Each structure stands twice: as C-alpha cells, then as structure tokens.
Homo-oligomer: A and B are copies of this chain.
C-alpha cells in the first residue's frame, strides 16, 4: 500500500506547514486519526472559522476579526507612538509581555534582494500616510536583528526622513542591541558582543 489518496493529500498539506517535514507530517496525521472528535474535527472547524473571520487591519496590518483592529481602536494606548515590526508574530511577542502600550505597524516582511521583495511589496506607504496625519511623535523601528531586518530598518529610516524632514518633530528610533537578559557572554556571537560593547553605558564616572 502506498498511503491512501485522502490521507496522502492530508499529509502533503501538513508537510507544507513550517517546521514539519514529510516524516513529521505523517506522525501528525496518525496522531490526528487517533483523536478524531477531540482534535481532528475541532481543528478542521477552527481552520475554517479563522480563515473566514480573521482579516488584516486596514490601518496597521495586524490580524483581527475587526478592522481597524482592537489595538488601533484602543483609546488607552498612546497613539503618538508607532512600533514598526516585520510580522504579526512580532506584535504578539511584544503584546505577550504587555511591555509596549503604543500602536503598531506591520510591514509584512523585509526587503530581500534574494527573494525579490522590494519596497512596494511591504506595507510602507500606509506607514508614511499614518505619519503624515500628524499625530505621531515617534516611530520605533523594531525589525529583526538579521541582515534583511537591518537593511529594511535603514531603508525605512531614510524614507521616513525624506518624507518627514526633521522639523516636523517626528522622532525615529530603533531597538537597542546588546546582551539578552540572562545571556552568558561565552555563548554569544561576536556581532552581539561587539554591539553590546559599542552601546556600553557609563554607570559611574
């Protein structure tokens, strides 16, 4: 027996998920078949429901069942602060700790010459429009500390500067680089160590 057609198709689809290869997709399929009522059918229904109800926010690009999203319409948040991130997952990461109480802007990726992603493929013009509306005081660029993330941060800073010269008073900032809290020097790469050294802070002088 080759695996059956329906099952084959399920395994093929599962193996397209990030982190799953064909072997783990088979394992997942068997696991699901052992729990049809408890997991398999609820998962099918959840997938359909989310596919139907969850949409990108027209303002910031975050995902929600409403647009503008719950973050954009939350009046307790500081609307003068926009944190620019690559992906919706980054919004979730920052929200998990409730460490940021401003608004977000999701780019939907990074510039990437390799993958042919240019500025027009990212959610940049909407950001410029938001900034142009005048209520923004600071833009925090929080792209990843990867090559593509940094390239995108530089490009964004340039575009924002051109679009909104200094006298409009909009600040542009970036996340600090350094040693992660709890990190041990011995396990850190040279890039991180060098950044931490460059950004060192005087504690007594």
Contacts and interface: CB of A to CB of B under 8 A. Distances in A.
Given A6-B50, A50-B33, A13 B1 contact: no
7 contacts: A7-B63, A9-B46, A10-B49, A26-B89, A27-B89, A30-B89, A32-B51
Given A4-B54, A19-B24, A47-B47, 6 more contacts: A4-B70, A6-B53, A19-B19, A33-B50, A33-B51, A36-B51
User: Copies of this chain, how many?
Assistant: 2
A91 B50 CA distance: 35
Main secondary structure of the interface of A (DSSP, over half): helix
A16 B44 contact: no
* In the complex, the 5 A-B pairs of residues with the closest C-beta atoms, listed nearest first: A44-B47, A10-B46, A44-B48, A13-B43, A44-B44
A29 interface: yes
Interface residues of A, number: 54
A14 B43 contact: yes
Interface of A: 1-4, 6-7, 9-10, 13-14, 16-20, 24, 26-33, 36, 39-51, 53-54, 62-65, 69-71, 74, 87-89, 91-92, 95
